[in-house]
């Protein structure tokens, strides 16, 4: 019986690892897609921009973010700050800015603090009313979503405008995301920077080829006329509201694009407990999106490979949970073998010759560490961060991935017990 259990877990391990390395190979196989600047970009029509900032107790960061956005030298930009019933100094900081480019929406309890999607929907209604009052063509209006701790360069809006103005079917443009220098010197945020700027960006790059670029929340720019096809409330109560939003945009036939030569900067999470809560929210949000699988299969605007990519992403929580169970069983098997002087593992290893054992060890080391090293080298090429630091981070990537296991378990538990409350990430 024990042998059968080992065989079952061995097969599951092969399947999970096979999918993982297949996906890594796909990520590395596609060269970057660059939306090169047009020689006549100075003559491209300038669209109207509303930059939306959801704010819940953001007194530590919101002042710098507002200053940054108000300093952008680009016409037709309005900053729309949502004070979601903050009980710190956020409201006073926002109201200290006397600028016609800044609009403040103060939400109050009990209709506030219900999640990011609810706050964005409230802002959306006010923006539509403002656009109608000014009699602006809705296809010429872009609503950008930024986090309250975001910093952007002045050129970012210009580059988004280049894509939106030239591609009328572009319903959303997602920019690249980086961890800013204020927290990047810490270990955990530095690993997040490699993850966002290299690993996740490679995933988005593949999606650019397949037509399935997903919104990442921060650095997301949406065309108003595309959003209107999603109803009066474009964002759902899903904990992964950005992915949910972009899925429904794709179902409606709109294109989603990736901008890689510009990025937004945000803070990294420096506290491991907060890190797990953040990732658990993301994983649970992905679980909430699994019912879209049937609609993905039937969606005519999506290509075959686009559907395959989305379905794989939707299955990631399940694959991750199976991988966690396999890993836990492997640890149990190793401990059982040595504590009980069992030969379950040893007798199989003893059957191998010394050269074969050495080959097995080399293969295992390469399989475990090579993906992280490759992504860290790509990160070094793109950022010119310290080479040795990047290599060491790449070697630590397997441990960083394992550090996220509690988030998967917590997400499954929360979803199974019906706990869907929004857990906000605190700023430094």
Beta strands in 56-193 (DSSP E): 77-84, 102-107, 141-145, 170-179
Q: Quick one: pLDDT at residue 328?
A: 87
Q: Quick one: pLDDT at residue 181?
A: 82
Q: Quick one: pLDDT at residue 344?
A: 62
Six token digits for residue 319: 């694959």
Residues 6 or more apart whose CB falls under 8 angstroms from that of 348 comprise: none
Q: What are phi and psi of 427, to 5 degrees?
A: -95, 165
Enumerate the β-bridge partners of residue 53. Answer: 81
Q: Quick one: pLDDT at residue 357?
A: 77
Among the listed residues 153, 152, 133, 151, the one whose alpha carbon sits nearest the alpha carbon of residue 141? 133
- pLDDT < 50 positions in the chain: none
Six token digits for residue 155: 């050129």
Q: What is the CATH number of the domain that holds 9?
A: 3.90.550.10
d(CA 204, CA 211): 10
pLDDT in tens, 317-343: 999 999 999 888 888 877 777 777 666
Q: Quick one: pLDDT at residue 61?
A: 94
Domain holding 50, by residue range, is 1-428
Six token digits for residue 244: 């949910």
Question: What is the 8-class DSSP label of residue 230?
Answer: G
Q: Quick one: pLDDT at residue 345?
A: 64
Q: What global pTM score does this model have?
A: 0.91
Q: Quick one: pLDDT at residue 122?
A: 95
C-beta neighbour count of 307 within 10 angstroms: 17
Max CA pair span of the chain:
80
Total domains present in the chain? 1
d(CA 369, CA 395): 6
């Amino acid at each position: 019986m024990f042998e059968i259990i080992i065989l079952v877990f061995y097969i599951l391990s092969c399947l999970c690892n096979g999918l993982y390395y297949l996906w890594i190979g796909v990520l590395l196989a596609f060269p970057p897609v660059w939306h090169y600047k047009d020689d006549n970009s100075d003559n491209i029509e300038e669209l109207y921009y509303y930059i939306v900032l959801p704010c819940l107790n953001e007194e530590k960061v919101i002042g710098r973010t507002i200053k940054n956005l108000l300093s952008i030298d680009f016409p037709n930009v309005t900053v729309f700050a949502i004070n979601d019933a903050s009980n710190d100094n956020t409201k006073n900081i926002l109201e200290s800015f006397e600028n016609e480019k800044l609009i403040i929406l103060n939400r109050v309890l009990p209709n506030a603090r219900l999640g990011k999607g609810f706050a964005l929907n409230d802002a959306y209604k006010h923006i539509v009313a403002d656009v109608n009052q000014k009699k602006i063509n809705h296809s010429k209006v872009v609503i950008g979503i930024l986090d309250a701790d975001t910093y952007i360069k002045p050129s970012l809006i210009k580059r988004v405008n280049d894509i939106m103005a030239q591609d009328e079917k572009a319903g959303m443009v997602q920019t690249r995301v980086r961890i800013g220098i204020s927290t990047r010197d810490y270990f955990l945020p530095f690993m997040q920077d490699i993850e966002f700027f290299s690993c996740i960006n490679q995933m988005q790059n593949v999606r650019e080829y397949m037509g399935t670029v997903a919104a990442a929340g921060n650095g997301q720019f949406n065309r108003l006329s595309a959003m209107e096809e999603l109803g009066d409330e474009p964002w759902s109560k899903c904990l992964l509201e950005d992915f949910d939003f972009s899925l429904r945009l794709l179902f409606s036939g709109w294109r989603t694009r990736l901008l890689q030569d510009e990025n937004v900067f945000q803070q990294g999470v420096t506290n491991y407990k907060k890190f797990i809560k953040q990732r658990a929210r993301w994983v649970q949000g992905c679980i909430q999106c699994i019912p879209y699988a049937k609609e993905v299969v039937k969606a005519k605007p999506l290509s075959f490979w686009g559907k395959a990519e989305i379905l794989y992403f939707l299955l990631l929580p399940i694959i991750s949970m199976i991988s966690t169970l396999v890993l836990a069983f492997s640890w149990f098997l190793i401990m059982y073998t040595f504590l009980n002087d069992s030969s379950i593992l040893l007798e199989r290893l003893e059957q191998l010759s010394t050269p074969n054992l050495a080959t097995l060890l080399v293969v295992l080391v390469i399989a475990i560490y090579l993906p992280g090293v490759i992504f860290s080298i790509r990160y070094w090429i793109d950022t010119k961060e310290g080479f040795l630091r990047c290599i060491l981070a790449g070697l630590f990537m397997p441990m960083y991935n394992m550090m996220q296991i509690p988030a998967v378990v917590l997400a499954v538990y929360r979803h199974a017990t019906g706990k869907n409350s929004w857990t906000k990430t605190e700023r430094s």
